[in-house]
Chain A
Amino acid sequence: QKEVEQNSGPLSVPEGAIASLNCTYSDRGSQSFFWYRQYSGKSPELIMSIYSNGDKEDGRFTAQLNKASQYVSLLIRDSQPSDSATYLCAVATISGNTPLVFGKGTRLSVIA
């Protein structure tokens, strides 16, 4: 059973701080890792993808991947109230038919 685990939160950070969101996964064969943001009542929106160990930066977002530890994280710098949402970690193996497996998400609240 492939599993993706996230702390459900809520994670509260003050405006301007760094928010750190963590995710672990069980399938060592996983090759692709994604972070989605979902506002309440809306559809998930892809914000980051990462495929190799290390850091990947895109604006205020940094994804970090450590395949040996089966761990992927998302850092949000200079957090804004508009970042308040649920962040979903998703994992896949590149093996043709494998669908994305999602964690339950971490609810982030940025306090102004």
Chain B
Amino acid sequence: NAGVMQNPRHLVRRRGQEARLRCSPVKGHSHVYWYRQLPEEGLKFMVYLQKENIIDESGMPKERFSAEFPKEGPSILRIQQVVRGDSAAYFCASSLDREISPLHFGNGTRLTVT
């Protein structure tokens, strides 16, 4: 049973470029959560998606950030025109249903903006 798969593991982008982070949930899971972790900080909730729907994006910056979870394929977190402050680890987690069960995280994508 594969867990949550994220790719790439490491991503380097220059300021102004776009970053695309992918997350494949556990097979059969239809709920995906994205969290961001800055160095020496805790995990900050960004967005919660169910297949084809954004349920809660209260933690996501209003500009430059977007997320989707299409009917087919992985969830994508997209950051346009990246800035140095976007450098962080981005973690994805999935769950089977809408009630909170323990979340299991992928290995994360470490974004570095130069």
From A49, A94, A99, contact of B45 by CB (8 A): A99
* Tally of chain B residues near chain A (CB < 8 A): 22
In the complex, A25 has a CB within 8 A of chain B: no
In the complex, B33 has a CB within 8 A of chain A: yes
Known A97-B56, A101-B45, A105-B42: A46·B107 in contact at CB below 8 Å: no
Known A43-B106, A97-B55, A99-B56: A92·B41 in contact at CB below 8 Å: no
Interface residues in A62-112 (C-beta closer than 8 Å to B):
88, 90, 92-94, 96-105
Q: Report the minimum CB–CB distance from B99 to chain A (whole Å).
A: 6
Q: Report the minimum CB–CB distance from A3 to chain B (whole Å).
A: 11
* Tally of chain A residues near chain B (CB < 8 A): 23
Known A102-B42, A104-B41, A105-B42: A96·B98 in contact at CB below 8 Å: yes
Q: In the bound complex, how far is the Cα of B41 from the Cα of A104, in angstroms? A: 5
Per-residue CB contact flags for chain B residues 39-52 toward chain A (1 = under 8 Å, else 0) read 00111110010000
Q: Report the minimum CB–CB distance from B62 to chain A (whole Å).
A: 18
Per-residue CB contact flags for chain B residues 51-89 toward chain A (1 = under 8 Å, else 0) read 000011001000000000000000000000000000000
Q: Report the minimum CB–CB distance from A36 to chain B (whole Å).
A: 8
Q: Report the minimum CB–CB distance from A99 to chain B (whole Å).
A: 5
| CB < 8 Å A-B pair total | 52
Q: Report the minimum CB–CB distance from A84 to chain B (whole Å).
A: 16
Contact between chains at B100 and A46 (CB < 8 Å): no
Contact between chains at B56 and A104 (CB < 8 Å): no
Q: In the bound complex, how far is the Cα of B112 from the Cα of A112, in angstroms? A: 35
Known A43-B107, A43-B108: A100·B56 in contact at CB below 8 Å: no
Known A99-B33, A103-B42: A43·B91 in contact at CB below 8 Å: yes
In the complex, B103 has a CB within 8 A of chain A: yes
Known A100-B45, A101-B45: A44·B91 in contact at CB below 8 Å: yes
In the complex, B102 has a CB within 8 A of chain A: yes
